[in-house]
Each structure stands twice: as C-alpha cells, then as structure tokens.
C-alpha cells in the first residue's frame, strides 16, 4: 500500500496528509513486550535455555515483528530504515555491557586489598599462605621504567616529528612517515623480543662480566620502541596545526629556522604534544609482555633500573593471576585497579588538556 | 600561485644576486611545508627565506641533522628488529630436528629440540579472524551511531568512553576474561554443545571454558575501540553534500548511509579492520590468560584449548633455555612478518586516499 494509493484526489494537500504515516510508539512497545512474552513461552516451554536465551530470541522476534508492522504502516523502505536503526542502537548497548562488567568487577574485587599494606610492602618472603604482601616494588618498577622510557622517547619522537613537518620532503620523508605508521602496529611482544635479542643477550653481557642480565632499563628500551611511533604521530599532527604565518613572522625578523622551531613552533604546539605524550605513557604503563621478557619480574624491591630484575604493575597482575595462592586473586585485582586508575587518570587528563588546546 | 615574493627573480630592485640567493634558500627547505604537499611538488608557502648563511656548520645544520637522524631512527629500529631477531633465531632453527613450519608441538628445551609453528600460527589466525567477525559489525554499528545517529551531546561522551576502553591494559581484560567472563561463556558453550554438537565447531565432550571462543570474544572486545574510532572518523568525513543529495532524492536515513556514507568510507573501513587484525594478531597477555594452551590444529571453538604465537611466548619464556629462547624468537619473527605485512597493506590503503592520510591515528 503505497502513498499514491492512499491519496484522495478531492482533498487539499496539508502537512498532515502529505506526510507518510508513522508507526506509533505504543505499537512499537507492544511488539517488544509481545516478542518477549512469546520468546519466554517458546524457550521456557520447550525447556531449551534460560533467561539469556529468552532475551536473545525475544530480540529476534521483536526485529521481525517490527519489520512486519512497519512494512504495513510505513512501507517497506521505511521499515528497513527502522530495522537498521534498531540494530545500530543495539550494537551500542552491546558494547557498553562488557565495559560496565569490567569496571564493576575492578571496583568490587579490587577494593578487597586496597589498604596501606598493599602500597607499602613488596612480595619478598610472602609465601602461599600469607594473606598480606603488596605491590610497592611493582609500582616503583612501573614508575622507573615508564619514566626512563619517556625520557628517551620524547626527545627522539619530537625531533622525528620536526623532521617530518619542517625539514623532510621527497621520497625519504614519505618512507619515514609510512614506517612510523607501520611501527604503531608492531606487537608489544615483538618489541620485547627485539630488546631481548639486542640488549639482554648481546649488549648487557659487556657490562656484566659476560653473563646476560635482565634489568628495568631493558624494559624501558622496549617501551621506548612502543612509544616512539605514537609520539611522532601525535606531535606531527600538532606541528602541522601551527599556523604558517607564525613561522613566517619569525623568518621575517631574521630568525633562523631552528630557532623558529624551538622558540615559536614548539611552544605553540606544546599542549598538544603533552597530550600525545601522556597518551603514549598511559599505553606504555599498561604493557605486560615486554616487561615480562626483558625485566624478568621480581618479588623484592629493586630501586636500581640498571641492574637486576624488576617488576612492574602489569607484570605483577599477570604474575598474581598465575599464582596458586588463594590470596593471589585479590592482590591481582587490586593491582589491576591501581593500574587502570593510573592509566585512566593519565588518559583523562590528556583528553582534558586536548580540549583546552587552542590549536584544535 | 603568483605571490611568492622570494621566488620572483625579476623583482629587480634588490639586485639579482640577493634574489637569486633567496630563491635558492627558499627552495632548499627553509620554509614550512603545507600539510598536503609532502613531496614538495608545489613551491613552499610564504617562502620566508633566512638570511644568508655565515658559517658552513651552523646550529641550523646541526639541528637539521639531528632531527633527520631522529626521523631515520624509525627505519633503523625496524631494520634492527628484523636483523636481531633473525640473528638469534637462526641457531635455534639449525638445532631444530623437525620442520619448523609444519611440526605441531613445542619442545625446544630438550636435548634434541623439536618445535614447529604450525599449531601456533593456526591458533593466532583463527582467534584473530573470529574476533574480527564478532567485533567488526558491532564496531561499524557504533561508529555509525556516533557519527550519524546520536545527538552531539551523547556522541561526544560515548566516543570518549570508547577511547577509554582502548586505554585499558590488556592484562586487565585477560584477568576479567579468565575470572568473570569465563562463566557465561562456559554456560553458553555447554548449551551450544547440547543443541549444535552435530556441527564440528561446536562438537566435543568438554571440558569447556578456556576455549578459542573465550579468547576470541575477549580479543573482540579489545579490538572494538580501534575499529570503532577509525571508522567513526572516516564516516564523519563524508562530504555533507553527498549526504544531503541522497536525502533530497527521498532516501531514508539508512538508504542515505548505504549510498553515500558507506561507499565513501569503504577504504578507510577496510584499513581500520586490517589495523584491528594487526592488533589482534599481536595480542599476548589476554590470550595467555584465556586460552587453554593446547598444541593442536582444530576448528573446535568451545572445547578447552587453543594457543597463539604471542601467548606461547609469554607462557613458555620462563622455563626456556638458550635454544628455547631462540625458538621463541623465531616464532616472534614469524609474528613480526605477519603483522608487518598486514599493517603495511592497511597503511597502503589509507595512503591511497589522501583525505584519510592525516586523520586516522
């Protein structure tokens, strides 16, 4: 039944009758309730599943019923539109569910060991039957490794971005840019293996009487490899946003290009660069695999990142997750909560800083 | 394009020698490059040439060399990764008494090392592909919702939350998958096995739980934000003219999306999916915690089992000796090669479309 057939030649066209008919929301709701009841009757009647299946079957029935009803009232094209809209809204709800579950589990399970002992002690001499033990050594490790990695990655990354924006041209710059993008996709475990092969197995014996040695610094190197492309990419985007007239103004005053970059371009882009760095730091702080491969993990406090095994928060979570002690899961969840809090604070601060950035 | 003062060699008043020098220095890269002009085919904007250089080795030369070196560092690192991984993998591969590519078990620490990548590579690809099959439709749905359906007041915070999802460390997802998500997946597996055991992928007699299904679903949740945020940006860049033209021809909203938004965003979406694939292939800790760690090649999704290259490295690194480490590095080399190919293909697709080049992260 199309619009044309419904039209009455004697009637004057008004907005009320030229507009196509809409499915009233009451019918929509009715279909939803009806579909759920029908699904419950079918599923529970046949005894083939529980309430989860009722909801899934109910959604299928609802979509079918909605499509049929909308086809009758609004026409087939409009019905298809409605169907897809419902599916797209559904996808959104479906994605929120696991996130909500993760957050709820983190808070409810992580609160168990959220005490001073957890943040003030290490796992040294903690046996399987000891309920206490903490993550102090892991927090130290995370801070030192990520800090050193940031110290190495930021100058390198910012200079690389300056090359791409200010100096680079031609084939070589394009190649560098392409591989920066490719490098963002390198798996963290490969970065860990690279530092294992390069630093731990080949270079570190030179400093340690010929025996390879794990260290927090090796973890920093691996994290640098992971942070570098992210920092180059975000800094590059920020430098490109700096208005050309600012540079030209400096050139017109006779300022050489390097000084223009250091004194004019970088300060203008600074908030954006800091945002990118903070996001990179947040990602690096959550990396487990490279630390596992090159820092080795440790139970005791080790302040020296250049000698001896070190742990990190992410590695601590992984280690406690694999521990057989019945107190380990609590420690793992509390450490996970600490880690997520740290990462989210960095991320949210970065995003808020980005919002205040006048360049974007 | 006529107003580049430093390039107008016929200005006359300044004397030919001065203008000539300016023209040279402007062409030599002293001025900012417009973002859409990377290959330097157009004359530089503004063209603010510097003063004539005094010294051969000035700060300028030094700074330029320093930043060029930093840029080249990226290439050096990628080449170094390949070189060092190969150098450590070759001795282990020579000691291997089985075929590395077809053998299905992992005993590199024995006196006669036997290890092969077949089962691991299969598990890596299988979990990633299933994760993408689950994640991509949902991610595209969310991307369309954020770009075309949601009101701005809702779209911004929701996009923010999706970005936060990307920041959650993988070890947390792994822990959640093992401690929390395993229970519903196990129930679901039992149910699937009860009614669909005639399908080989849902067959078997248990135990269920730490299966490929669990690993893939956790992986799907982890790649969701990447695919979502990239395709959202691509969808948002659809020219408003195209959308309005479709609507003006009487298209419904869905028809507009199908005829204007999706065709425009297709290359970007393909690239986003491949970047998600690259991320899924390399994921380590979440899979090490959720897979059953069994060395076999089986399409059974719900029985405890499954393994991947990265998860195997994390799980067996602790007890590896020198050959064992070499073997793990060899498997990492395979992973590196796979992800490099996937990522390069994705980036090549993005680079072909100039509009996407400067947006997608």
The shortest C-alpha distance from B15 to chain A (Å) reads 19
- B296, burial (CB in 10 Å: exposed 0-12, middle 13-18, buried 19+): middle
Q: Does the pLDDT value for residue B361 go beyond 50?
A: no
The per-residue pLDDT for B44 is 52
Chain A residue with CA closest to B359: the answer is: A237
- Is A85 in the same domain as A188? no
Query: What value, to the nearest 5°, has the Cα angle with vertex B19 and ends B16 and B24?
Result: 120
Q: Give the C-alpha distances (Å, rounded to integers) separating B287 from A289, A304, A341, B276, B311.
A: 11, 31, 23, 15, 6
**Quick one: which of A155, A132, A135, A134 has its CA closest to A143?**
A135
- Contact list in B for residue A198 (CB cut-off 8 A) is 80, 84
Could you report the per-residue pLDDT of B255-291, keeping only the tens digit for each? Answer: 999 999 998 888 889 888 988 898 899 888 999 999 8
pLDDT band at B350 (very low <50, low <70, confident <90, very high): confident
Q: Give the C-alpha distances (Å, rounded to integers) separating A276 from A226, B303, B310, B317.
A: 13, 42, 28, 33
Could you tell me if B67 and A160 are in contact, meaning their C-beta atoms sit under 8 angstroms apart? yes
- Is A89 in the same domain as A192? no
The per-residue pLDDT for A245 is 93
- Is A238 in the same domain as A350? yes
Could you tell me if B225 and A95 are in contact, meaning their C-beta atoms sit under 8 angstroms apart? no
Residue A254: half-sphere exposure toward Cβ, Cα within 13 Å: 4
Q: What percentage of chain B carries pLDDT values higher than 90? A: 36
- Is A178 in the same domain as A308? yes
Interhelix angle for B212-236 vs B182-196, to 10°?
110
Contact at CB, A317 and B141, closer than 8 angstroms: no
Bridge partner residues of B114 (DSSP): B107
| Cα B46 to Cα A63: distance, rounded to the nearest angstrom | 59
ipTM at complex level: 0.86
Contact at CB, A174 and B38, closer than 8 angstroms: yes
* Domain region containing A19: 3-111
Contact at CB, B252 and A332, closer than 8 angstroms: no
Could you tell me if B360 and B273 are in contact, meaning their C-beta atoms sit under 8 angstroms apart? no
- Contact list in A for residue B141 (CB cut-off 8 A) is 87-88, 90-92
- Is A181 in the same domain as A83? no
Q: What percentage of chain B carries pLDDT values higher than 70? A: 82
Q: Hey, how many other C-beta atoms are within 10 angstroms of the C-beta on A334?
A: 24
The per-residue pLDDT for A95 is 85
pLDDT mean across residues, chain B = 81
Residue recorded with tokens 């590579």: B121
- Contact list in A for residue B137 (CB cut-off 8 A) is 91
Q: For residue B188, give the H/E element and its range.
A: helix B182-196
- Contact list in A for residue B139 (CB cut-off 8 A) is 91, 95
> What's the whole-number mean pLDDT along residues B319-343?
91
The per-residue pLDDT for B49 is 58
Q: Which domains does chain B have, with CATH numbers?
A: 5-52 (no CATH), 106-357 (1.10.3720.10)
Contact at CB, A169 and B58, closer than 8 angstroms: no
**The dihedral sign for the CA sequence A325, A330, A333, A338:** negative
DSSP 3-state of B12: coil
| Cα B222 to Cα A187: distance, rounded to the nearest angstrom | 14
pLDDT band at B215 (very low <50, low <70, confident <90, very high): very high
pLDDT band at B43 (very low <50, low <70, confident <90, very high): low
- Is A28 in the same domain as A165? no
Residue A219 touches partner B, C-beta closer than 8 Å? no
| Cα B325 to Cα B92: distance, rounded to the nearest angstrom | 8
Is the whole-model pTM more than 0.80? yes
**Distance, CA of A260 to chain centre:** 35
Interface probe with B: pick from A153, A289, A311, most Cβ of B within 10 Å: A289
Question: Nearest CB to B70: which of A80, A85, A156?
Answer: A156
The per-residue pLDDT for B28 is 41
- Contact list in A for residue B64 (CB cut-off 8 A) is 167, 258
Interhelix angle for B152-167 vs B212-236, to 10°?
140
Could you tell me if B269 and B237 are in contact, meaning their C-beta atoms sit under 8 angstroms apart? no
- Is A145 in the same domain as A246? yes
Could you report the per-residue pLDDT of B314-327, keeping only the tens digit for each? Answer: 988 888 888 899 99
Q: Does the pLDDT value for residue B169 go beyond 60?
A: yes
Could you report the per-residue pLDDT of B196-213, keeping only the tens digit for each? Answer: 888 888 877 778 878 899
- Is A17 in the same domain as A162? no
- Contact list in B for residue A173 (CB cut-off 8 A) is 38, 71
The shortest C-alpha distance from B101 to chain A (Å) reads 19
- Contact list in A for residue B346 (CB cut-off 8 A) is 185
Chain pair A-B, CB pairs under 8 angstroms: 317
- Is A186 in the same domain as A303? yes
Counting as low any pLDDT under 70, the low residues of chain A are: 1-20, 360
Q: Does the pLDDT value for residue B31 go beyond 50?
A: no
The shortest C-alpha distance from B305 to chain A (Å) reads 17
Residue A360 touches partner B, C-beta closer than 8 Å? no
The shortest C-alpha distance from B143 to chain A (Å) reads 9
The per-residue pLDDT for B63 is 92
Residue A177 touches partner B, C-beta closer than 8 Å? yes
- Is A28 in the same domain as A130? no
Portion 254-283 of A in contact with B at CB < 8 A: 254, 256-259, 261-262, 279, 282-283
- Contact list in A for residue B87 (CB cut-off 8 A) is 197
Q: Give the C-alpha distances (Å, rounded to integers) separating A309 from A41, A147, A184, A293, A306.
A: 61, 17, 28, 11, 9
Chain A residue with CA closest to B309: the answer is: A189
| Cα B8 to Cα B23: distance, rounded to the nearest angstrom | 8
Which of A111, A142, A165 is the endpoint of a domain? A111
| Cα A139 to Cα A347: distance, rounded to the nearest angstrom | 18
- Is A221 in the same domain as A90? no
Contact at CB, B77 and A185, closer than 8 angstroms: no
User: What CATH number should be reported for the domain holding residue A204?
Assistant: 1.10.3720.10
Query: What value, to the nearest 5°, has the Cα angle with vertex B351 and ends B345 and B352?
Result: 95
Residue A120 touches partner B, C-beta closer than 8 Å? no
Q: Where are the alpha helices (DSSP H) in chain A?
A: 3-6, 15-18, 25-46, 51-74, 76-110, 116-120, 136-162, 170-183, 188-195, 204-207, 216-241, 244-252, 257-260, 266-285, 289-294, 313-321, 328-356
**The dihedral sign for the CA sequence B174, B175, B181, B187:** positive
Which of A111, A142, A169 is the endpoint of a domain? A111
pLDDT band at B22 (very low <50, low <70, confident <90, very high): very low
Which of A111, A133, A157 is the endpoint of a domain? A111
Domain count, chain A: 2
| Cα A264 to Cα A251: distance, rounded to the nearest angstrom | 11
Higher pLDDT, B69 or B38: B69
- Contact list in B for residue A245 (CB cut-off 8 A) is 46
Q: Token pair of B341, please?
A: 């190919």
Contact at CB, A189 and B282, closer than 8 angstroms: yes
pLDDT band at B224 (very low <50, low <70, confident <90, very high): very high
The per-residue pLDDT for A138 is 92
- Is A202 in the same domain as A76? no
- B136, burial (CB in 10 Å: exposed 0-12, middle 13-18, buried 19+): buried
């Amino acid at each position: 039944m199309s619009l044309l057939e419904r039209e009455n030649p004697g009637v004057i066209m008004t907005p009320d009758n030229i507009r196509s008919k809409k499915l009233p929301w009451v019918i929509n709701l009715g279909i939803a309730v009806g579909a759920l009841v029908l699904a419950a009757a079918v599923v529970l009647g046949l005894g083939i599943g529980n309430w989860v299946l009722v909801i899934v079957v109910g959604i299928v029935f609802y979509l079918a019923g909605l499509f049929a009803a909308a086809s009758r009232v609004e026409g087939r094209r409009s019905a298809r539109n409605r169907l897809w809209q419902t599916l797209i809204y559904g996808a959104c709800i479906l994605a929120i569910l696991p996130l909500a579950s993760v957050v709820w589990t983190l808070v409810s399970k992580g609160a168990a060991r959220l005490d001073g002992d957890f943040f003030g002690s290490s796992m040294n001499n903690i046996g399987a039957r000891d309920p206490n033990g903490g993550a102090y050594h892991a927090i130290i490790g995370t801070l030192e490794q990520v800090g050193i990695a940031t110290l190495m990655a930021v100058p390198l990354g910012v200079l690389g971005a300056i090359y791409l924006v200010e100096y680079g041209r031609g084939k070589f710059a394009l190649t560098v840019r392409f591989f920066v993008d490719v490098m963002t996709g390198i798996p963290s475990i490969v970065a860990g293996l690279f530092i294992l092969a390069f630093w731990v197995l080949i270079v570190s014996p030179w400093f340690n009487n010929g025996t390879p040695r794990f260290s927090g610094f090796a973890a920093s190197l691996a994290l640098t490899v992971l942070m570098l492309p992210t920092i180059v990419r975000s800094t590059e985007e920020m430098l490109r946003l700096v208005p050309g007239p600012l540079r030209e103004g400096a050139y017109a005053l006779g300022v050489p290009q390097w000084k223009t970059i250091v004194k004019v371009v970088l300060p203008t882009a600074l908030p954006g660069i800091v945002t990118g760095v903070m996001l990179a730091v947040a990602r690096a702080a959550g990396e487990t695999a490279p630390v596992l491969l090159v820092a080795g993990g440790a139970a005791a406090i080790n302040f020296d990142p250049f000698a001896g095994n070190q742990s990190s928060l992410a590695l601590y979570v992984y280690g406690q997750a694999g521990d057989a002690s019945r107190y380990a899961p609590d420690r793992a969840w509390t450490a996970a909560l600490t880690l997520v809090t740290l990462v989210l604070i960095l991320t949210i601060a970065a995003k808020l800083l980005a919002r205040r950035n006048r360049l974007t | 394009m006529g107003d580049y003062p430093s390039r107008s060699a016929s200005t006359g008043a300044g004397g030919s020698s001065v203008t000539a020098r300016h023209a040279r220095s402007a062409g030599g890269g002293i001025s900012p490059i417009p973002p859409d002009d990377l290959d330097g085919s157009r004359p530089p904007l503004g063209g603010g040439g510097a003063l004539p250089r005094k010294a051969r080795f000035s700060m300028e030369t030094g700074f330029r060399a320093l930043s060029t070196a930093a840029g080249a560092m990226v290439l050096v690192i990628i080449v170094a990764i390949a070189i060092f991984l190969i150098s450590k993998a070759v001795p282990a591969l020579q000691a291997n008494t089985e075929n590395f590519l077809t053998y299905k078990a992992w005993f590199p620490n024995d006196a006669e090392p036997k290890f092969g990548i077949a089962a691991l590579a299969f598990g890596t690809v299988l979990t990633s592909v299933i994760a993408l099959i689950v994640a991509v439709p949902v991610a595209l749905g969310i991307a369309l919702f954020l770009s075309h359906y949601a009101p701005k007041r809702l779209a911004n915070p929701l996009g923010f939350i999706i970005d936060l999802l990307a920041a959650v460390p993988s070890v947390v997802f792994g822990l959640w998958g093992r401690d929390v998500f395993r229970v519903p997946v196990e129930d679901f597996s039992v149910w699937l096995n009860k009614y669909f055991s005639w399908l080989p992928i849902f067959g078997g007699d248990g135990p269920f739980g730490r299966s490929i299904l669990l690993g893939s679903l956790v992986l799907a949740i982890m790649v969701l934000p990447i695919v979502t945020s990239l395709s959202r940006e691509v969808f948002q860049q659809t020219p408003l003219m195209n959308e309005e033209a479709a609507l003006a021809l009487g298209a419904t909203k869905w028809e507009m999306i199908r005829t204007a938004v999706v065709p425009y965003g297709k290359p970007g979406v393909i690239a986003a999916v491949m970047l998600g694939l690259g991320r899924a292939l390399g994921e380590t800790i979440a899979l090490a915690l959720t897979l059953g760690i069994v060395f076999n090649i089986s399409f059974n999704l719900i029985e405890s089992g499954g393994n991947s290259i990265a998860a195997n490295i994390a799980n067996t690194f602790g007890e590896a000796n020198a050959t064992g480490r070499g073997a793990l590095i060899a498997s990492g080399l395979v992973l590196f090669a796979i992800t490099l190919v996937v990522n390069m293909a994705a980036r090549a697709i993005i680079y072909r479309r100039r509009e996407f080049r400067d947006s997608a992260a």
